[in-house]
Structure 1
Amino acid sequence: MDLNHEYFQHQLSLMRASAAGTHLAKTRHLAAASVTADRIGNHQSGIGADAADGWVRSSHNLDFWIDRDVGVAS
């Protein structure tokens, strides 16, 4: 896994969410950030990296903003 790419995608999703013009767009971008954070956390856990816990916790904190009826942004 290219972690630099994944971190970049996560940051892009958060920036897009911040700039989103609608609640729906913001929700989709935050959902994409959450999926990416979970992927990073799972990878880090798999290799025994200490930072994995932080990624998993932070991705679950995004759940506050996610509308469960909305799909992940592509």
Structure 2
Amino acid sequence: MQTDSLTRFLNALSPEHRQEVSGRPHEQQERLAAAWEAELERDVDLDTLDELSPAAAESEAARRVVEGGAGGGAS
């Protein structure tokens, strides 16, 4: 996992979620970032949002991963 993906994931989070995720172990942060990348790639609705606002699509995917545990979840 590239640190760049983790940095982009953290930047896409709301301040509240960013603080929560930053307090987790680094390995878990990387798993969440990987789940975020996968969410961006597979969700068709995010493709439409991405055309209008890439930052909004990234933020929505990050929220889904943290709140919904899409692929990352709390361990």
Answer yes or no: same fold by TM over 0.5. no
- RCO greater where, 1 or 2, for CA within 8 Å and sep 6 or more? 2
Which has more radius of gyration?
1
Q: Which structure is higher in helix share?
A: 2
Q: What TM-score results when the alignment is normalised by the length of structure 2?
A: 0.33
